[in-house]
Amino acid sequence: MSKRKIQEAHLPIGECITQVQEILRVRLCHQQLPDRPEGLETQHKHLLELLKRTAVHGESNSVLIVGPRGAGKTMLLKCVLRDLLEEKEAQKNLLQVHLNGLLQTDDRIALKEITRQLHLENVVGDKVFGSFAENLAFLLEALKKGDRSSSRPVLFVLDEFDLFAHHKNQTLLYNLLDVSQSAQAPVAVVGITCRLDVLELLEKRVKSRFSHRQIHLLSNPTFPQYLAQVRTQLSLPADFPDAQFAEDWNASVKTLVEDKSAVDVLQRHFNSSKDFRSMHMLLMLCLSRVSVAKPAVKPADLLEASRLCFSDAKANILHGLSVLELCLIIAMKHLNDVYEGEPFNLQMVHNEFKKFLQRKSNSMYNFEQPVIMKAFEHLQQLELIRPLDSSAARIQREYQLMRLMLDHSQIMEALQKYPQCPTDIKQWAMSAFS
Amino acid sequence: TPRGATPSIPSRSLPARQPANVLEEARTRLHVSSVPESLPCREQEFQDIYSFVESKIVDGTGGCMYISGVPGTGKTATVHEVMRCLQHAADVDEIPPFLFVEINGMKMTDPHQAYVQILQKLTGQKATADHAAALLEKRFSNAAPRKETTVLLVDELDLLWTRKQNVMYNLFDWPTRRHARLVVLTIANTMDLPERIMINRVASRLGLTRMSFQPYSFKQLQQIITSRLNKVKAFEQDALQLVSRKVAALSGDARRCLDICRRATEICEHSAADPSGSGLVGISHVMEALDEMFSSAYITAIKCASLQEQLFLRAVIAEFRRLGLEEATFQQVFVQHQALCRVEGLQPVSVSEGLAVCQRLGACRLLLLEPSRLGVLQRVRLNVSQDDVLFALKAD
């Protein structure tokens, strides 16, 4: 019997890798909820208490969750809702309405969505009947009929709250907040936004009705905490089917976060941004390199993933240009140096290029005007250069003023890495004034 | 909308819990929605509006009144209380019976919906805006025996503005008809609204009966809270005074005052050692609540930003100092950023990464940016003062 158990515990290596991929992918890509939001205990408690009072006591409230992108605002709210709905009293009573500023782009759409999610009486099947004005009147009437002690509390979640502030007259916000401040059906209005100046967007009568409660998600993890977070994110849970494999995997993760080069890479990511989404991105890139042949994350994987994350997009485009296009870019760089960033046109660039050709006296790059023009247009299509004003139709293309959208460091770096770059062009680029 | 549908929110299966201790009781009383029986500190305004409406009802004439004041000074609540008192007087036959109709400019999608709502509230009829306007016109211009006076409250008047101003014109013109018997009370925020947005014939019909609600002073705010609490002993006297002084200095908005007090009771409850025997709300709790609601998060946000983001902000300031302007292109700032990276002994960042850092700061509005398709040419401005940034970066 015990022998069979041991046999069961040892899965084939392929099976283990599949399991690992599955578990970690759900964790990293599907934003799986943690058991407890880390570092956000006070915020969690505040929000939970607030929503509990709405659900249980029927007290109306409004609150804004503010924090930078990727700081876990939605995660916090979902955790709170999960914990709240464990209580029977809240679960039976609370009605939820979820709106998103990116989907409900005006009040008409938002109102239909609210009516649909509340299952009011003017909903038949999935369609909402009546005009915009009737819908608003109906909803307000319904909310007005309710009262604190007898009607079910409604939770309104407004994701991307700042976009709702751009609706006409802010009618929806006014009405939701007005309900939350008057003796009607109990509501809780929870807004989620990343803008710190969101209150300045509100009209003064809307602002006066908002309770000015803000929950800020501005966590400040230290680097050791960040490392610990990386480790927990990559570690396998205790209930992994193959205990031996999980132990080896977790040990390898432990050595990974203690490795000098890996720590350096993580330090660089930490310096760049502290949000969890970019960390998940990095770890996901590492994870995709784990296979049967290489059943652990090595520091080299982390280096490679970090190189992918940090590579410069414009420099990559420059590597793919032809030599002529590169020459034009260099000519533009010289023009920028000489004339201190003044805009240029095709003729000026061509002249600069001709000067180089005369000096070099070999006619290898002596192209016709139409070829130069084509190359110039190609650069414009890649948005490496950009016309000064968009009213382009009137001016001939040769004389249209342009600006270079590249930094000098990018050009020089790209030249160093350009495959088989001719030496004279390199020299031309180096010479400060041609 | 289906005919005969009665709009309602489903009722709860379990009854709502009643307040269990003193603090919860205080919280219920302090909620903005629990309007008290009589509004303290608005006796004079109450009297003025009351006598205006009462005299019109008794005489059977009509008229307009314009009421202004910043949000949260008790305009709508006072008018509602006047109407409640008049209704009571009418019930005991002191004055002739009347109808009360209320519309709110913010609660309708279009100014012309005002006609629809008035008609529906007067007669229960449903009609389109044009039809409703015609019906109301007929109702107010024709003589009818035993017609009751109608009192119409128009809240958020400025939202009823249209280009031809015909909605406002009609609302103010009906009371001047001989048989209309209509009293219109209008409420808005700004005092000079009639002069600013109304054309002459509309402003002249609105007339000169005006009243403005002043922001509450700290004594009045204190009195409001005390009367709401109504002998529930939950606050220290000094704490109340602090809240009312702070709010009065800032805006004089009673809603803000009540919200802060409510938050302070929560903080008191959390900080108490055992939840049942929690004491009075003291100065420290109120201070914490005030901090939470009035302080801006910019400085904390800068402190919590990542190292590169902080360096970028320093680069922005360095570039502003160099240029002597309050605006720079990303390219210029980036040069400074690279230099700062070298000074700090960090690996220099690539342009893409620098742009990403800049965008992150722009998304939470520490920086104001042009559209990101401009790439390195986009102009950068600070949304906070330079001193704030320097303070936040130096503090640690």
Question: What token pair was written down for A209?
Answer: 């009705």
**Chain A residue at shortest CA distance from B376:** A405
Q: Please list every residue in chain A whose beta carbon sits closer than 8 Å to the beta carbon of residue B32.
A: 181-182
What is the amino acid identity at position B104? N
Given a contact cutoff of 8 angstroms between Cβ atoms, the answer to whether A206 and A174 are in contact is yes
Dihedral angle at the C-alpha atoms of A136, A140, A143, A146, nearest 10 degrees?
-140
> Across the interface, which of B9, B303, B373 has its CB nearest the CB of A151?
B9
pLDDT of residue A3: 46
Tell me the chain A residues in contact with residue B107 when contact means C-beta distances shorter than 8 Å. 136-137, 140, 171, 174-175, 178
Note whether A412 contacts B: Cβ–Cβ < 8 A. Answer: no
Taking an 8 Å cut-off on Cβ atoms, the answer to whether A213 and B72 are in contact is no
Contacts of B172 (CB under 8 A, 6+ apart): B64, B184, B202, B205, B206, B207
pLDDT for the residue numbered B19: 79
Among chain B residues, the shortest Cα distance to A154 is held by: B9
Interface contact A219, partner B, CB < 8 A = yes
The total of other beta-carbon atoms located within 10 Å of residue A119's CB is: 9
pLDDT at A131: 81
Closest CA–CA distance from residue B346 to any residue of chain A (Å): 9
- Work out the widest C-alpha separation in chain A, in whole angstroms: 92
pLDDT in tens, B14-69: 777 777 788 888 888 899 888 787 888 899 999 999 999 999 999 888 899 999 99
Are B332 and A293 in contact by the 8 Å Cβ rule? The answer is no
Contact list in A for residue B113 (CB cut-off 8 A) is: 133
For residue A113, what is the enclosing H or E element? helix A107-118
The confidence band for B370, taking pLDDT boundaries of 50, 70 and 90, is very high
Between A10 and A313, the higher pLDDT residue: A313
Query: What confidence tens digit (pLDDT) does each residue in A417-431 have?
Result: 888 888 888 888 888
Q: What is the pLDDT of residues A174-192, one digit of tens each?
A: 999 999 988 888 999 999 9
For residue A27, give every residue at least 6 positions away whose Cβ sits within 8 Å of its Cβ, in sequence order, or none: A233
Both structure tokens of B39:
């509004």
Return the residue in A212, A382, A413 with the most chain B beta carbons within 10 A, the one to mutate for interface testing: A212
Closest chain B residue by Cα to residue A207 = B71
CA-based nearest residue in chain A for residue B346: A268
Say what the pLDDT of residue A175 is.
93
Name chain B contacts of A310, Cβ cutoff 8 Å.
350, 352-353
The pair of structure tokens assigned to A421 is 């770059």
Show Cβ contacts of residue A119 under 8 Å, excluding neighbours closer than 6 positions.
none
Supply φ then ψ for residue B80, to 5 degrees. -60, -40
CA–CA distance, A269 with B306 (Å, rounded to integer): 10
Whether B351 and A314 lie within 8 Å, measured CB to CB: yes
pLDDT at residue number A424:
85
Question: Which token pair is B71?
Answer: 């949000």
pLDDT, one tens digit per residue, over B157-213 is 999 999 999 999 999 999 998 888 899 999 999 989 888 888 888 888 888 889 999
The tokens for A291 are: 């296979």
Q: Do A250 and A235 form a contact (C-beta atoms < 8 A)?
A: yes
Please list every residue in chain A whose beta carbon sits closer than 8 Å to the beta carbon of residue B156.
205
Residue B9 confidence (pLDDT) above 90? no
Q: Considering only CB atoms, which chain B residues are within 8 Å of A49?
A: 266, 270
Q: Is A129 on the interface with B (CB under 8 A)?
A: yes
Cβ of B12 within 8 Å of Cβ of A406? The answer is no
- Name the residue with tokens 């003729």: A347
Coil vs helix vs strand at A131 = coil
Q: Tell me the chain B residues in contact with residue A226 when contact means C-beta distances shorter than 8 Å.
A: none
Nearest Cβ partner for A183 among B17, B34, B117: B34
Determine phi and psi for A187, rounding to 5 degrees. -130, 155
Distance (Å) from the alpha carbon of B55 to chain A's nearest alpha carbon? 30
Pairwise CA distance, residues B308 & B289, whole Å: 33
Confidence band, pLDDT 50/70/90 cuts, at residue A4: very low
Is the pLDDT score of A7 beyond 60?
A: no
Q: Which two tokens stand for residue B46?
A: 């109450």
The set of residues, in sequence order, having a beta carbon less than 8 Å from that of B62 and lying 6+ positions away, is B56, B149, B174, B175, B176, B177, B180, B181, B182, B183, B184
φ, ψ dihedrals at A287, nearest 5°: -60, -35
Kindly state whether A196 is in contact with chain B, defined as any CB-CB distance less than 8 angstroms. Answer: yes
The shortest CB-CB distance from B159 to any of A146, A169, A185 is to A169
Secondary structure of chain B in the HEC alphabet? Answer: CCCCCCCCCCECCCCCCCCCCHHHHHHHHHCCCCCCCCCCCCHHHHHHHHHHHHHHHHHCCCEEEEEEECCCCCHHHHHHHHHHHHHHHHHCCCCCCEEEEEEEHHHCCCCCHHHHHHHHHHHCCCCCHHHHHHHHHHHHHCCCCCCCEEEEEEECHHHHCCCCCHHHHHHHHHHHCCCCCEEEEEEECCCCHHHHHCCHHHHHHHCCCEEEECCCCHHHHHHHHHHHHCCCCCECHHHHHHHHHHHHHHCCCHHHHHHHHHHHHHHHHHHCCCCCCCCCECHHHHHHHHHHHHCCCHHHHHHHCCHHHHHHHHHHHHHHHHHCCCCEEHHHHHHHHHHHHHHHCCCCCCHHHHHHHHHHHHHCCCEEECCHHHHHHCEEEECCCHHHHHHHHHCC
Interface test with B, best of A176, A205, A270 (most B CBs within 10 A): A205
> Residue A138: its chain B contacts at CB < 8 A?
1, 5, 7
Query: Using the beta-carbon criterion (under 8 Å), do B11 and A152 form an inter-chain contact?
Result: yes
Instruction: Name the burial class of residue A401, with classes exposed (0-12), middle (13-18) and buried (19+) by CB atoms within 10 angstroms of its CB.
Output: middle
Radius of gyration of chain A (CA): 30
Alpha-carbon gap, residue A80 to A77, rounded angstroms: 5
pLDDT value at position A434? 42
Mean pLDDT of the A32-53 span? 87
Q: What is the 3-state secondary structure (H, E, C) of A217-258?
A: CCCCCCHHHHHHHHHHHHCCCCCCCCHHHHHHHHHHHHHHHH
The larger pLDDT score, comparing residue A378 to residue B16, is at A378
Give the distance from residue A272's alpha carbon to the nearest chain B alpha carbon, in angstroms.
5
pLDDT confidence of residue A267: 93
Check CB contact of A211 with chain B, cutoff 8 Å: yes
Q: Where are the domains of chain A?
A: 40-216, 221-310, 315-433
Q: Is the pLDDT at B373 greater than 90, yes or no?
A: no
* pLDDT(A2) > 50: no
- What are residue B151's phi and psi, to 5 degrees? -105, 125
Residue A8: per-residue pLDDT? 54
Predicted pLDDT of residue B229? 87
**pLDDT at B309 (0 to 100):** 94
Of the listed ranges A100-114, A270-284, A326-340, A387-401, the least confidently predicted one is A387-401
Residue B215, CA distances (Å) to A57, B243, B250, B293 in order: 32, 15, 10, 20
Q: With CB atoms and an 8 Å threshold, state whether B357 touches A120.
A: no
Flag if B189 and A204 touch (Cβ within 8 Å). yes
Residue B273 has what pLDDT?
A: 60
| B395/B299 Cα distance (integer angstroms) | 10
Q: Bridge-partner residues for B154, per DSSP?
A: B103, B186
Summary mean pLDDT of chain B: 89
The architecture that CATH gives domain A315-433 is: Orthogonal Bundle (1.10)
Kindly report the backbone phi and psi dihedral angles of residue B161, in degrees, each rounded to the nearest multiple of 5, phi listed first. Answer: -75, 130
Tokens standing for A156? Answer: 């309104």
Beta pairing, strands A95-100 & A154-159: parallel
CB contact under 8 A, B71 and A212: no
CATH among 3.30.70.3270, 2.60.40.10, 1.10.10.60, 3.40.50.300 for A40-216: 3.40.50.300
CB–CB contact A181 B72 (8 Å) = no
> B351–A312: do the CB atoms touch at under 8 Å?
yes
- Per-residue pLDDT tens over the stretch A141-183: 888 888 878 888 999 999 999 999 999 999 999 999 999 988 8
Among B181, B179, B183, smallest CA distance to B207 is for B183
Residue B103 clears pLDDT 90, i.e. is over it: yes
With CA atoms as reference, report the closest residue to B152 among B188, B181, B123. B181
A318 has pLDDT over 80 = yes
Token output for B152: 């119409």
- B357/A56 Cβ within 8 A: no
A378 pLDDT band, cuts 50/70/90, is very high
